[in-house]
Structure 1
Amino acid sequence: MPSRSDLGQLPKRLVLGRPVRSDRAGESLLPKRLALPIFASDPLSSVAYATQEILLILTLAGTAFLFLAPWLAALVVLLLVVVVLSYRQVVHAYPSGGGDYEVAMKNHGQFAGLVVASALLTDYVLTVAVSVSAGTDNIISAFPSLDEHRVAIAVTLVAVLVAANLRGVRESGKTFAVPTYLFISGIMVMVVTGLIRDFFTDNPVVAESAAYSIEPEPGYTQLTGLALIFFALRAFASGCTALTGVEAIANGVPAFKPPKSRNAATTLALMGGIAATMFVGVTALALLGDVKYVQHPCDLIGFADCATEPQRTVIAQVAAATFGGPSSVGFYYVQAVTALVLILAANTAFNGFPLLGSVLAQDRFMPRQLHTRGDKLVYSNGILLLAGFAIVLLVAFEADPTQLIQMYIVGVFTSFTIGQWGMVRHWNRELGAETVPAARRRMQRSRVINAIGGTLTTVVLAIVVVTKFVSGAWIVICAMPVILLLMKSINRHYSHVASQLVPDSAARMKPSRVHAVVLVSKVHKPTLRALAFARATRPDVLTALTVNVDDTETRALQADWERYDVPVPLTVLDSPFREVTRPVLDFVKDIRRSSPRELVVVFVPHYVVGHWWENLLHNQSALRLRTRLQFLPGVMITSVPWQLESSLDHGPLDGAGGSAPGDLRRGLTDEMEQTPYG
């Protein structure tokens, strides 16, 4: 029959499954086929909204500048290739999993490392919020009636992701592998089908919004010169959302099976090639099908239901046009796998955030709890912290991906930029110590790749900050320094604590005497047990102490003390204001004041109940006393718990013989009955 403690663990076990032994950590390492969907689902799924974000900005000026879309998409692909090549150098040089944080810390110093850490932490939170909200958007594209439940759907999906990730890396990898590969297959089939229809048949792809015209936003009708350049750069910056999550593989190298660096680099190359192909294909079909997507649906002239119906996403319009309309099997398949992979793309953050949090905790920049593994050998506290922040964003911005994306890529390109220039310094240092010509040539090639990557990401970061600052990037720009200062404060606290805990001669000095103080409220079993334990320690002085808050009760206590013939004098402290804690503290302070080298051991008897509501029925003075006493130097607090029947897994003895758990502390053994006062 399961015990009460086992039953209390039942909900946890239903969600997480059985705990995993620490020595089985190696069994959760990932092969490439599982690492790809786990770490690359974010950049792969971004093809569902990267093209949409480019069109969203360009259509602010109507249809006049849509011709820029293929050129902007080409620049995004070029940038993606350079960044992937750059991170392949990172995984070989720094396979420990710190990624850009480790690169910055070792090559630029602590400040740069913390800037990267703050950028990555905000980026991971936004990855969850953006991916889940975009997935919700695609669900609503298939079922428009769900629009009013947008926030509830998004929050529920985050909760499901948390449960899946808490079960462990291998379990979540298997869960996410199939949808990711189904998504890749679906998009590839859609792209090939659409291109065949456009170039080899008389039935080209035509989007449902192709017949609409667009009302330009005020101020965008006459764009020339610098205004046009700024406008194009803003659209390019929005398209750079296709690069989000590329760094996750560099941060997750320890999770790969050996050879870790080579497997991570191969996965990076696969991810880059697949993501670039899908992004180019979706963009091409969107332009060939004349897809229109605007910030305000009623700017679409011809969209009669703009006030009540949400506009379909770009990928939904492309799927409908390719497979024969919004009621076709192909449309629902693409929408299902797109929504699913967008939701599961948050798994990139659920793996990256806890790993980075663990590294930061190990370096004493985050609470140590983030370095602790849970039952399934995952960093459970990091997973829960990430989910909490993501839910706050989803609720605050009503799960609107358009608003959330404006904040998204500031942190991404901050870490990209600092990390790439850190790699350049790394190669400069390595070249100074390397003499083998072949190795030097390899390092020089890597340095060139990282220098190109650093240059491009620096330019893009400047573009993102300038073009998106007012749209929402300012929130991340303000949040990053706050996170940095918080990490510095945590590090100062840990350093200060460590300096105070260094052993010295004073810590080894024995006390001159030991004065035991047993707190007494009534003459009952907990008090007598505390007295017995105190006498067993053989202190130099033993004081039984009570506080007089009611004369009648105090006299009754003194009478019971004499009646039970307790072999320790009872000391009574007066308390005219009926306070218990202050007189006890003053009494202990007086002992310490009169003899600073004397150790005071305070025995605090209390009883333990088994139900939370029982605590409401009992005075918590023992807890308050223990809390206050722990701040007094030279004072030890010994808690003497007495377990009541409700706190035990089994009831009291039924006369069958033997001892039940807790009988020693409850005084129910034969030996205790023979020696009631120890």
Structure 2
Amino acid sequence: MLSSIKRFLIGRPLKSDALGEQKLNKKKALAILSSDALSSVAYGPEQILIVLITVSAAAFWYSIPIAVGVLILLTALILSYRQIIFAYPHGGGAYVVSKTNLGTNPGLIAGGSLLVDYILTVAVSVSAGTDAITSAFPELHDHNVSIAVVFVVLLTLLNLRGVTESASVLAYPVYLFVLALFILIGVGLYNIVTGEVPPELHTPVGTPIAGISLFILLRAFASGSSALTGVEAISNAIPNFKDPAPNNAAKTLAAMGTLLALLFSGIVYLAYYYGITPLAEVTVVSQIAEETFGRNFMYFFIQGTTALILILAANTGYSAFPLLAVNLANDKFIPRMFTFRGDRLGYSNGIIALGLASILLIIAFKGHTEQLIPLYAVGVFIPFTLSQTGMIVKWIREKPKGWVTKLIINSTGALISFIVTIVFFLTKFAQVWSVLVFLPIIIYIFHRIRKHYEAVGDQLRITTCEPSTPIEGNVIVVPVSGITHVVENSLNYAKSLNPERIIAVYVAFERGDERKFEEKWKQWQPDVRLVTLHSHYRSIIQPLTKFVDTVEHKANESNYRVTVLIPQFIPKKGWHNFLHNQSSLLIRAFLLYRRNVVVTTVPYHLKK
């Protein structure tokens, strides 16, 4: 039954040689890897206005020069990541660049930041998409968290079905969103040119504003830079592209940068000219659409596509998180399970882990996007800074042809990214201070995991491990609960192994039961030694494990190995297991950690 449900949800398994069919062309890659960056147009301009409104609505004209600064940063990042794509064509992005050029710890800071950031990508995108839906339908506001969780579950299932299948589904909403915003911007600009929008709605550019300060402007710039989150995703996911992967990735990156620049500029300008003021329950894009078209079909079309891309932007996290996890797992910094491909050839463990972590985050923050965006953005700009710095070191060290130009590009990107990171810490410290706590913890965990894997490898390696002690014989201990076919089956198996001796162990709670069982045993199995243990506190585990430890200590002196052979009956139907106490599972769980004890289960299958 479970297998049938799994097949229905994620599809039939794919053969390993079908991996090439799961690669993305530029059109699908742009949809699946750029949705995060493009979707940030829906909340990036709004974040600028939220900061400026603390001074007054008259200060909104500053959004124009701030947007120019964001576009300069975008250009530097696009050029920088284009160089990373060709320098490191196997993917890995900021983690690989930082680890290779700056050292292990800077690499882990970048990798840890991005892992957390991709979780935030899903949480922020889905929360923002839910906000867009509830802006159009205010009666749904009370169900924001539930709606967001449902969308995360659906996205997780979609990605478990495979990269190409999810890309095929996501391409339409992404391109519809781009079309909808271009129509909105085009009609909005037409209305401005034809004079349908009165100029009194906004303050002219250059108007002196009392109370404005460099601190406020830098804070607004940092908030607006949240629109650039997701730019690095393409450099992380190069292995997902069809050959020639680096060329296709670079072209996709350029297309994403162009679209992002046009959409961001258009929304910022319309918000300024229309005099839009950010509201708690209505997004800026929603207000622009309502001012431009009224509350008609086009308004709901824009809101619908905006909600879709905000939700589906989370798919950038689903595309990049598993690949980054693979790089970290290959370097033994996170569990190896993240390197395994699932039935549909995707890294399903990474996809599931991302989905679960995102749901926990949405519930913890109650779906409030504005609380997550600063943490989300600073988590991106730390890797931005480290990756660009790593490329600077690479060019200075290797000095390839044209390295001076490349050095200038990466230096510019590193400097601006560093400034934005510092501004985030200075202006939004109350919201991003947790980065300074969880990053050291994550890096410590990475090193502990790596140390464990190295210790395991050292102990398992034939050339370095201690010589094995020869086993002279075997003592079998059989826990018994009664005189049944299950016990008989286990004793017959034990006898077939020809051990030195077999000891049956019965744990009694009452003295009378103990004597009765001993008498019955002598008649049933007189050739098998029975040991009865009285449990004063009605525990089976404690007296049994104590007895096994005693036998193991004595057997070890003669180089004998103790095997605990646990009888277990298997019900015909799975749900029948809930009707039994599963004591055999508890015994096995407790005994598995005994150093010189072998634990074996002998199943007895019931027929009805």
Normalized against structure 1, the TM-score is what? Answer: 0.84
Q: Distance in 2 between matches of 1:561 and 1:147?
A: 69
Structure 1 residue aligned with 2:262: 277
Identity %: 39
Q: Distance in 2 between matches of 1:495 and 1:268?
A: 38
- The aligned amino acid for 1:203 is E
Structure 2 residue aligned with 1:204: 197
Structure 2 residue aligned with 1:568: 527
Stretches of structure 2 that go unaligned for 5 or more consecutive residues are: 204-208
Per the TM alignment, residue 392 of structure 1 is displaced from its structure 2 partner at its CA by 2.5
Please give the residue correspondences for 1:103-114 in structure 2 after superposition, counting only pairs within 5 Å. Answer: 103-114=97-108
Indicate yes or no: 2:354 matched with 1:369: no
Superposition RMSD in Å: 2.4
Aligned residues of 1:544 and 1:568 also touching (Cα < 8 A): no
Q: 2:545 aligns with which of 585, 588, 599?
A: 585
Structure 2 SS opposite 1:539: coil
Distance 1:204 1:616, change over 3 A: closer
Q: How big is each residue's C-alpha offset from its partner over 1:501-546, in whole Å with a ceiling of 9 and x where there is no partner?
A: 3335755442122222333332222222212222222223333333
Structure 2 residue aligned with 1:501: 460
Q: Distance in 2 between matches of 1:579 and 1:63?
A: 72
Q: Distance in 1 between matches of 2:90 and 2:356?
A: 27
Q: How big is each residue's C-alpha offset from its partner over 1:373-431, in whole Å with a ceiling of 9 and x where there is no partner?
A: 22222222222222222223322333222222232211100000011101111223322
Q: How big is each residue's C-alpha offset from its partner over 1:68-116, in whole Å with a ceiling of 9 and x where there is no partner?
A: 1110000101100110110011111112221101111111112111111
Distance 1:528 1:155, change over 3 A: same
Deviates more, 1:49-58 or 1:479-488: 479-488
Per the TM alignment, residue 591 of structure 1 is displaced from its structure 2 partner at its CA by 3.5
Indicate yes or no: 2:390 matched with 1:422: yes
Structure 2 SS opposite 1:517: strand
Aligned residues of 1:598 and 1:634 also touching (Cα < 8 A): no
Per the TM alignment, residue 243 of structure 1 is displaced from its structure 2 partner at its CA by 0.5
Q: Distance in 2 between matches of 1:428 and 1:268?
A: 25
Q: Distance in 2 between matches of 1:181 and 1:106?
A: 37
Q: Distance in 1 between matches of 2:133 and 2:198?
A: 23
Q: How big is each residue's C-alpha offset from its partner over 1:329-358, in whole Å with a ceiling of 9 and x where there is no partner?
A: 221111111111111001101111122222
Aligned residues of 1:573 and 1:583 also touching (Cα < 8 A): no
Distance 1:574 1:202, change over 3 A: closer
Per the TM alignment, residue 203 of structure 1 is displaced from its structure 2 partner at its CA by 2.4
Q: 1:602 aligns with which of 556, 559, 564?
A: 564
Indicate yes or no: 2:220 matched with 1:235: yes
Aligned residues of 2:202 and 2:272 also touching (Cα < 8 A): no
Q: Distance in 1 between matches of 2:198 and 2:604?
A: 78
Q: 2:135 aligns with which of 141, 145, 157?
A: 141
- The aligned amino acid for 1:70 is I
Structure 1 residue aligned with 2:412: 452
Distance 1:333 1:583, change over 3 A: closer
Q: 1:292 aligns with which of 277, 280, 286?
A: 277
Structure 2 residue aligned with 1:511: 471
Per the TM alignment, residue 604 of structure 1 is displaced from its structure 2 partner at its CA by 1.2
Deviates more, 1:54-63 or 1:392-401: 392-401
Structure 2 SS opposite 1:602: strand
Per the TM alignment, residue 292 of structure 1 is displaced from its structure 2 partner at its CA by 2.0
Structure 2 SS opposite 1:46: helix
Structure 2 residue aligned with 1:119: 113
Aligned residues of 2:507 and 2:535 also touching (Cα < 8 A): no
Q: Distance in 2 between matches of 1:620 and 1:501?
A: 33
Q: Which has the larger radius of gyration?
A: 1
Structure 2 SS opposite 1:604: strand
Q: How big is each residue's C-alpha offset from its partner over 1:291-323, in whole Å with a ceiling of 9 and x where there is no partner?
A: 2225xx6xxxxxxxxxxxx3x321122222223
Distance 1:139 1:628, change over 3 A: closer
Structure 2 residue aligned with 1:542: 502
- The aligned amino acid for 2:425 is V
Aligned residues of 1:626 and 1:637 also touching (Cα < 8 A): yes
Distance 1:85 1:607, change over 3 A: same
Stretches of structure 1 that go unaligned for 5 or more consecutive residues are: 1-6, 213-220, 298-309, 432-439, 647-678
Structure 1 residue aligned with 2:450: 491
Per the TM alignment, residue 372 of structure 1 is displaced from its structure 2 partner at its CA by 2.2
Please give the residue correspondences for 1:640-651 in structure 2 after superposition, counting only pairs within 5 Å. Answer: 640-645=602-607
Structure 1 residue aligned with 2:580: 618
Please give the residue correspondences for 1:112-191 in structure 2 after superposition, counting only pairs within 5 Å. Answer: 112-191=106-185
Distance 1:340 1:167, change over 3 A: same
Distance 1:576 1:450, change over 3 A: closer
Q: How big is each residue's C-alpha offset from its partner over 1:580-615, in whole Å with a ceiling of 9 and x where there is no partner?
A: 434433443333333422111221111122556544
- The aligned amino acid for 2:253 is L
Q: Distance in 2 between matches of 1:600 and 1:585?
A: 12
Q: 1:223 aligns with which of 211, 235, 256?
A: 211
Q: Distance in 1 between matches of 2:499 and 2:198?
A: 91
Structure 1 residue aligned with 2:287: 317
Q: Distance in 1 between matches of 2:135 and 2:175?
A: 22
Q: Distance in 2 between matches of 1:71 and 1:170?
A: 40
Per the TM alignment, residue 556 of structure 1 is displaced from its structure 2 partner at its CA by 4.0
Q: Distance in 2 between matches of 1:399 and 1:519?
A: 52
Q: How big is each residue's C-alpha offset from its partner over 1:609-655, in whole Å with a ceiling of 9 and x where there is no partner?
A: 25565445434332232223222222211210111235xxxxxxxxx
- The aligned amino acid for 1:489 is R
Q: Distance in 1 between matches of 2:167 and 2:421?
A: 32
